[in-house]
Amino acid sequence: MTRDMITVLDTTLRDGEQSAGINLNRQDKVDIARMLEQLKVDVIEAGFAASSESDFEAIKAVAREIKDSTVCSLSRAVERDIDLTAEAVRGARSGRIHIVLSTSPVHMRYKLQQAPEAVLEQGVHAVKHARRYSDDIEFSCEDASRSESEFLARIVEAIIAAGVTTVSLPDTVGYAMPPEYGSLIGRLIAQVPNSDKATFSAHCHNDLQVECTINGIGERAGNASLEEIVMAIRTRHDHLEVRTGLETRYLVPASRLVSERTGFVVQPNKAIVGRNAFAHESGIHQDGMLKNPLTYQIMAPETVGGQDYQLVLGKHSGRAGYRARMERLGVRFSSEDALSEAFRRFKKLCDQKLHLDDKDLLATAKKEEEPHVA
Ligand code: KIV
Ligand code: ZN
């Protein structure tokens, strides 16, 4: 069984920050970058150096601070951007320049207003310019999923020949169906003669490198979420046959930090990092969980840095969950009948109140049993 190593590029600080309504200052970026480094993210995309003076300074600060991850900045395919990007990541132990240039007919015609040949030439020129500063150059063919495959193959071959080390093929507008996107990348790797000289990167999906953000934040509807990809790879390694080098116990702390600094609340039902990801309310689930957590959890909360699973008592809960929770509160019932009586009162209360706190629960035991604090 081959186990290819997946490189993880986290773009929380660049694409994530492009979410409408998010603005991170230099300190926020440094703090989040430190957390990403602890998480052992391979590449941290810290921002877009030419977009503002403050982002330039923030990237510089991240580059100075981070030792174990590569620090990267996005750059348009123009010399001025590339010069600023190179300057911003210069202090990094390992720095990357990430060039982006559109390759789809609709982008080339209306946004760039350039013929495909001119775009190809511009891309190659930009790569050669960037190579004066760094050996680590990523090139994103923006809107790759809507690009013509023949042109895409030509430009990818040309930029690799000019010195690109990572080729990213973003599904910029969330248009591609997953199998279609997979075959686009597979076809390019097979067709482009020098494809073995570069890492192919998926912006949304996982190939030899994945680009993603903490909590899935990002432009428009967001990006692929780092925690979901990393845990899918870890949990289903039997199926995916790849792995990452990430310290997954920092996933929940990273999620909390990004949520706090961006002001973007994580939905309770968000996989891996949501408040309810390891909470069980239904009687059937609680009964199973009490017998063995593997019945209803495919990963242990500790592996992602979360707290132990919770049995939330509500109207869907059963006797086993109720009894277990009451025992945790120090209440032991003298008989099965006493438990049944208290359980009936509990169910009645659930119809009257949405959230039951410990006081409410203790009250359900009152008639039959004085709470006995263990
Ligand atoms: O989605 C995209 O195309 C991007 C590029 C700017 C790299 O984020
Ligand atoms: Zn993007």
Each residue of 157-195: pLDDT tens digit? 999 999 999 999 998 877 777 888 889 999 999 999 999
Q: What is the pLDDT along the chain (374 residues), one digit of tens a residue?
A: 345 888 999 999 998 888 777 788 999 999 999 999 999 999 999 999 998 999 999 999 999 999 999 999 999 999 999 999 999 999 999 999 999 999 999 999 998 999 999 999 999 999 999 999 999 999 999 999 989 999 999 999 999 999 999 999 998 877 777 888 889 999 999 999 999 999 999 887 334 477 889 999 988 778 889 999 899 889 888 878 888 999 999 999 999 999 999 999 998 889 899 988 898 877 777 887 888 888 778 899 999 999 888 888 887 888 888 999 999 899 999 999 999 999 999 999 988 887 888 999 999 998 644 444 43
Nearest alpha-carbon partner for 209 in 221, 220, 224: 224
Q: What are φ and ψ of residue 99, in 5° steps? A: -95, 140
CA–centroid distance, residue 28 to ligand 1 (Å):
22
Ligand having the closest approach to the CA of 98: 1
Check whether residue 227 and residue 332 sit in a common domain: no
Nearest alpha-carbon partner for 357 in 327, 314, 316: 314
Query: Among 172, 201, 212, which residue has the most ligand 1 atoms within 8 Å of its CB, making it the best to mutate?
Result: 172
Q: Is residue 271 part of a domain?
A: no
Ligand 1, pocket residues at CB < 6 Å: 15, 74, 100, 140, 142, 170, 172, 203
CA–centroid distance, residue 172 to ligand 2 (Å):
5
pLDDT of residue 25: 93
Check whether residue 75 and residue 180 sit in a common domain: yes
Could you identify the atom of ligand 1 that is nearest to the CA of residue 223?
Answer: 1
Check whether residue 359 and residue 218 sit in a common domain: no
Ligand having the closest approach to the CA of 219: 2
Could you identify the atom of ligand 1 that is nearest to the CA of residue 203?
Answer: 1
Entry pTM:
0.79
Check whether residue 239 and residue 316 sit in a common domain: no
Among 262, 289, 304, the domain-final residue is 262
Could you identify the atom of ligand 1 that is nearest to the CA of residue 143?
Answer: 3
Check whether residue 240 and residue 288 sit in a common domain: no
CATH number of the domain within which 97 lies? 3.20.20.70
Secondary structure of the chain as H, E, C letters: CCCEECEEEECHHHHHCCCCCCCCCHHHHHHHHHHHHHCCCCEEEEEEHHHCHHHHHHHHHHHHHCCCCEEEEEEECCHHHHHHHHHHHCCCCCEEEEEEEECCHHHHHHHHCCCHHHHHHHHHHHHHHHHCCCCCEEEEEECHHHCCHHHHHHHHHHHHHHCCCEEECCCCCCCCCHHHHHHHHHHHHHHCCCHHHCEEEEECCCCCEEEEEHHHCCCCCCCCEHHHHHHHHHHCHHHHCEECCCCHHHHHHHHHHHHHHHCCCCCCCCCCCCCCCCEECCHHHHHHHHHCHHHCCCCCHHHHCCCCCEECCCCCCCHHHHHHHHHHCCCCCCCHHHHHHHHHHHHHHHHHCCCCCHHHHHHHHCCCCCCCCC
Q: Are 333 and 339 in contact (CB under 8 A)?
A: yes
Q: Is residue 272 part of a domain?
A: no
pLDDT of residue 207: 40
Check whether residue 206 and residue 291 sit in a common domain: no
pLDDT of residue 201: 93
Among 204, 228, 262, the domain-final residue is 262
Check whether residue 74 and residue 171 sit in a common domain: yes
Check whether residue 148 and residue 247 sit in a common domain: yes
Token pair belonging to 367: 């008639």
Could you identify the atom of ligand 1 that is nearest to the CA of residue 170?
Answer: 3
Q: Which residue has its alpha carbon closest to ligand 1 atom 8?
A: 15
Non-local (6+) Cβ contacts of 186 within 8 A are: none
pLDDT of residue 373: 42
Check whether residue 151 and residue 226 sit in a common domain: yes
Q: Is residue 268 part of a domain?
A: no
Ligand having the closest approach to the CA of 47: 1
Check whether residue 226 and residue 117 sit in a common domain: yes
Check whether residue 46 and residue 146 sit in a common domain: yes
Q: Is residue 151 part of a domain?
A: yes
What Å distances lie between residue 18 and 51, 217, 226, CA to CA?
11, 9, 16
Q: Is residue 274 part of a domain?
A: no
Token pair belonging to 343: 């359980």
Residue 105 domain boundaries: 7-262
Query: Among 76, 203, 205, which residue has the most ligand 1 atoms within 8 Å of its CB, making it the best to mutate?
Result: 203
CA–centroid distance, residue 278 to ligand 2 (Å):
30
Check whether residue 236 and residue 283 sit in a common domain: no
pLDDT of residue 323: 93
Q: How far apart are CA 175 and CA 93, in angstroms?
A: 37
Q: Is residue 374 part of a domain?
A: no
Could you identify the atom of ligand 1 that is nearest to the CA of residue 15?
Answer: 8
Ligand having the closest approach to the CA of 222: 2
pLDDT of residue 276: 86
Q: Is residue 273 part of a domain?
A: no
Cβ burial of 132 (10 Å; 0-12, 13-18, 19+) is exposed
CA–centroid distance, residue 171 to ligand 1 (Å):
8
Query: Among 102, 140, 171, which residue has the most ligand 1 atoms within 8 Å of its CB, making it the best to mutate?
Result: 140
Cβ burial of 11 (10 Å; 0-12, 13-18, 19+) is buried
pLDDT of residue 268: 86
Q: Which residue has the tokens 């877009």?
A: 48
* Structural domain count, the chain: 2
Among 262, 290, 318, the domain-final residue is 262
Q: Is residue 54 part of a domain?
A: yes
CA–centroid distance, residue 8 to ligand 1 (Å):
16
